[in-house]
Each structure stands twice: as C-alpha cells, then as structure tokens.
Amino acid sequence: MAKRIITISREFGSGGRFIGEKVAKKLGIAYYDKNIINDIAEKSGLSPEYVQKNAELSPKKGLFAYAFAGRDITGKSVEHMVYEAQRKVILELADKESCVIIGRNADYILKDRDDVLNVFIYGDMPEKTKRIMGLYNVEEKEAVKMMADTDKRRMTNYNFYTDQKWGKTSNYTLCLNSSQLGYDRCEAIIIECAK
C-alpha cells in the first residue's frame, strides 16, 4: 500500500525539516511544520506565540510545579491542552490529504494508520554542529548547547506523551543518517519507500 502520510522526527541540526520540505515538493503533497501552529492555537484557545514556545514541552513534573501549573476548569494543564489540540489537528490533516508532517509526535499520533511512513533523521555531531553554526550564526559551543537543549525538549515531550523512547529505531519505519547519506539520498529513499 502506498503511504499517503510521511512523518519526520529529527535531531536538531540533521536537516530533517529541509529534507521533509523537499520530499513534499517532489511528491506534490502538503507540508506541515510550524504552519499548523495557528490551527493548534485556535483549537486550544491559546495564542500562537504561546503554542510556538510550548508545543514541544512536556507537562511540568513534581508536586510544586504541579500545584502552580496553569489549568482549565477540568484540571488539565495548559501543556496538555496544547498537546490535545495538536493531536486533533494532526488527525484532521491526515484524514484530509496526503502530506509530510514534521515532528509534533505525529508518528505516534498516527500509529494506528496503515498509510503512514514514519521517518527518523539523525546525523553525526560534527556535521550537525557545522550546520547549526552556519544557520544561526553562532560559535561552536553555542551550537552544541542549542542542539542539546532542543533535542532534550523533544525527547522529554515525546517520551512523556507517547510512553515510548524518542529516537528508538523500533518506533519508526525508516531511520536515516543524513550526515552519511546526504540530503538528496535521504529524500530519494523516503520517496521510494512511500511508493
């Protein structure tokens, strides 16, 4: 069966977003990344700025943090409301059209569908560091910190909401090292596997 939906989870600096965008373009299908933030904001009743900043965070743990976390009248944390809105948007997009969805636990959210290709893109530290230094115009030390912080947030969020381990190969159909394969080869492999 051809895969209608391609989810791409990625390490920060691996080029996963760039690869996903090219795959969508070559297949002539929709591409969803930060452009779904307004939909999530609308469904959650929160501002797009808040969703952008907090969508990859996990609910606060610990009694003290729990006591002071923002909650709605049912007792749900704001983070949980964002996640639920995000889940609804992703399910609606998958029902509506063929597409590439970047991050946001889409692989897990769509796990019960047969028409999904779940991809994890990772890379070698030296190449990711060089890429981040160039993209964000930062020194090596700052690039390494950005990668560690972003990947830690992604991992914590994924592990919390999915009860799975972020980056674990068995969670994905395909795991690609963009440093070893190059972006063009990664794109070609994803497109071939989606047929």
* C-alpha–C-alpha distance, residues 72 and 159, integer Å: 24
Cβ contact 7:110 at 8 Å: yes
- 5-51 pLDDT tens trace: 999 999 999 999 999 999 999 999 999 998 888 888 887 777 888 77
Count the Cβ atoms, other than its own, within 10 Å of residue 48.
14
**Bridging pattern class, strands 116-122 and 5-10:** parallel
Pair of tokens at residue 184: 């063009």
Task: Read off the pTM.
Answer: 0.86
Q: What is the pLDDT along the chain (195 residues), one digit of tens a residue?
A: 567 999 999 999 999 999 999 999 999 999 999 888 888 888 777 788 877 776 665 554 443 444 444 544 555 667 777 888 889 999 999 999 999 999 999 999 999 999 999 999 999 999 999 999 999 999 999 999 999 999 998 898 898 888 899 999 999 999 999 999 999 999 999 999 998
Q: Give yes or no for a contact between 178 and 14, defined as CB atoms under 8 angstroms apart.
A: yes
Environment class of 159 (CB within 10 Å of its CB; exposed 0-12, middle 13-18, buried 19+):
middle
